[in-house]
Amino acid sequence: MREHRRLLTFEFLGLCMVTFVAFCNVTIFYDLFNYLQKLGIPADLHGLVIGSYSLTAMVLYLLASPFLTAAKAPRAMILGTAVVILCGMSYLYIHSFWGLLGLRMMNGFGQFLMSAGAMTLLVSVIPKEKSGQAFAIYSVAILLPFGTVPAVMDSLAFFIPTPPHGYAGATVLLVPAVWIVWHLHRRRREQVSMAEQTHLPAWSDIRANVTQAPIALLLLLNVVYIINWSSMFFLFKGFADQQGIVNVGSFFTVQMGLMIMLRLLAGRLLDIVDKTRMVVAMFAVIALGHLAMDNLPGAWAISLVALIFGVGMGMGQPTIHGLMFEVSAPVFRPLNANLMLFSTQAGLFLGPVVGGALIVRWGYHGYFMFSIGLALVAVFMGTFLAGRR
């Protein structure tokens, strides 16, 4: 029983490492918006190229997740890794709109196989009483690339001829991931029961599960959270250029540094405090961050605004994911965890698409006003969820 309650096992830490290198190959595209401009692709199509990656993964999470079991997950992860490596190399040779659109969709397919496989295994190794701490640590593996990759790539810009060379180079990190997944497969093969290998839920059961108010609300809250997150990540560079902010990576480094510190130090609290009230407070601070950005007094204040976003978004992902783990029936935990990733991909798709369109039409002021309103809607949804709980 004592062994079963351990969190920091080889399986858990290995899945965190695979997730880290997978998201390094997501965040490496932080400058894709500007790269598409240099290629001469029309501005109103930039969001579609960027978002097609997430749109593809989103559809697959919705339709394929019910068929992904713990027994199939390691093989899916290895195939996904190979696809992502191939795609990373292909950016060196593909430069047209249609070619990049197809390449981004294939990239999304590979990312789905890696991330969905990892999440399917993850929920099978997390002790129930440590779900908050587990998702706090797991989310750090996702956050680290957002905080480090832009800064590292900025510092290496002199040595990287073009952005596609950076995209291709980042795939080197995926090689050790194959080794980790293979060992996970060998260790888990004898632990997965025959029932777990063959059981697939009926569509009627899936529909009944998803339409429960807490499940549906948490999926919507996660979409809003990721829209706020992804739009800022992909569109901030243009705002920084407009405001004369030289080092874009420093904003993300300060923000991610605080988020990581909060999750590592306060992760245990998530298994003690009321998660619904934390969700409400989190979105209120996010709205304040967008308000501060819209009224930025100068480049000198950008680190202060990064701290606001760091606090607001710091506990967002582990809190929402931990709540989903708690309210889900055990048989639906793998599916609901992957539906959370579906909602994440929905937010990653909608963030740059909607944000880019708002900037083109109404400028950054219109974008910030929209983001503030969206965060306040999430405050209302969180309050309603707290009442239902």
Is 211 a member of any domain? Answer: yes
pLDDT for res 319: 87
Is 32 a member of any domain? Answer: yes
Q: What is the CA radius of gyration of the chain?
A: 20
Structure tokens at 12: 């858990």
Reported as a single tens digit per residue, the pLDDT across 268-323 is 777 777 888 888 999 999 999 999 988 888 777 888 888 998 888 887 888 898 88
Reported as a single tens digit per residue, the pLDDT across 232-279 is 877 887 888 887 777 677 787 788 788 888 888 877 777 777 888 888
Is 4 a member of any domain? Answer: no
- The proportion of the chain whose per-residue pLDDT surpasses 70, expressed as a percent, equals 94
Structure tokens at 365: 């002021």
pLDDT for res 195: 45
Rounded to the nearest 10 degrees, the angle between the axes of helix 302-314 and helix 275-294 is 160
Instruction: Quickly list DSSP for 261-282.
Output: HHHHHHGGGGGTS-HHHHHHHH
d(CA 315, CA 136): 8
Please report which residue ranges of 65-96 form alpha helices under DSSP H.
73-90
Reported as a single tens digit per residue, the pLDDT across 248-260 is 777 877 887 888 8
Provide the number of structural domains found in the chain: 1
Domain CATH for 303: 1.20.1250.20
Cα 3 to chain centroid, rounded: 30
67 has a pLDDT exceeding 90: no
Tell me which of 122-126, 163-167, 224-228 is least confident.
122-126
pLDDT for res 182: 86
The most confident of the ranges 59-68, 202-211, 218-227 is 218-227
Is 5 a member of any domain? Answer: no
AA letter at 78:
I
Is 3 a member of any domain? Answer: no
The residue range of the domain holding 38 is: 10-388
Q: What is the mean pLDDT of residues 39-49?
A: 84
106 has a pLDDT exceeding 90: yes
Reported as a single tens digit per residue, the pLDDT across 119-135 is 888 888 888 778 778 88
Q: Which pTM value belongs to this model?
A: 0.78
d(CA 166, CA 9): 33
Is 318 a member of any domain? Answer: yes
